[in-house]
Structure 1
């Protein structure tokens, strides 16, 4: 359904350092810089961070979340710890199991240094 997801940043170097660290815990190689953007390429999709093309400040979505698949609760915890250590902010409840209409999920939430809400998600067996 999706070809890519892109969020904005006001500091490309800071964003690259943050996402290299966070996504590295999920096995994603370091991002590639292309002019005013950083691309993270995987077999399941592309995530990118960009300075706004219009020259205006980047702002985060209110109500928006970008979710990253984690292979295990331990990987989600490592993702969360790397994010906090790299300038992100822990938000929502601490990482842990949540129950919803689709079953049990292990979730960890952060705000990146630009305020974008991101999440590591692992679906637990039924």
Structure 2
């Protein structure tokens, strides 16, 4: 039997400003920021949600090893939510976050989804979706 992966544990976003990113992801997307001490090197920041996390690297001070071409705004992430898209529209408006597109129907990893598209402070494309 060939090896295969089972799930995503974490991903890394390179950001221009850790504090601005933490504020956005906590305030707008409801994630929880956590400072952690890796096995090697200085303390780092992560954004936790569900059973996953996003590690943050500050542009120009990335932790090794890192992507071949790290940079702020290069991500495209889709997050599933049980909160209705209409409630997200109101929440985003209240925080002055522009919706770039949506609601629109898309295809997610497990089937149809209804999505809103927005951007984080670095321009990373964020998709917030309900499973249909």
* TM-score category (smaller protein): 0.5 to 0.7
**Runs in 1 of length 4+ with deviation above 6 angstroms?**
none
Provide, for residues 22-57 of structure 1, a one-character-per-residue CA deviation record: whole Å limited to 9, x for no partner: 231xxx4x30134574212344211232213349x8
Question: Partner residue of 1:118?
Answer: 126
Distance 2:19 2:126 in 1: 18
> Any conservation in 1 of the 2:15–2:57 contact (CA below 8 Å)?
yes
Question: Partner residue of 1:19?
Answer: 25
Q: Which has the higher helix share?
A: 1
Give aligned pairs, total. 114
Once the 2 structures are TM-superposed, how far is the Cα of residue 105 of structure 1 from its aligned partner? 1.7
Asked which structure has the greater RCO (Cα within 8 Å, sep 6+), the reply is: 1
Q: Does 1:45 align with 2:45?
A: no
Correspondences of 1:93-104 after superposition (within 5 Å): 93-94=101-102, 96-100=103-107, 104=112
**SS of residue paired to 1:13:** helix
Question: Partner residue of 1:108?
Answer: 116
- Structure 2 unaligned residues grouped into runs of 5+: 1-6, 37-41, 64-69
**SS of residue paired to 1:119:** strand
- Structure 1 unaligned residues grouped into runs of 5+: none
Correspondences of 1:66-105 after superposition (within 5 Å): 66-74=77-85, 77=88, 81=92, 85=95, 88-91=97-100, 93-94=101-102, 96-100=103-107, 104-105=112-113
Q: TM-score, normalised by structure 2?
A: 0.65
Distance 2:17 2:43 in 1: 10
CA RMSD of aligned residues (A): 3.4
Larger Rg: 2
Q: TM-score, normalised by structure 1?
A: 0.68
CA separation of 1:13 and 1:6: change in aligned 2, threshold 3 A: same
Q: Does 1:65 align with 2:72?
A: no
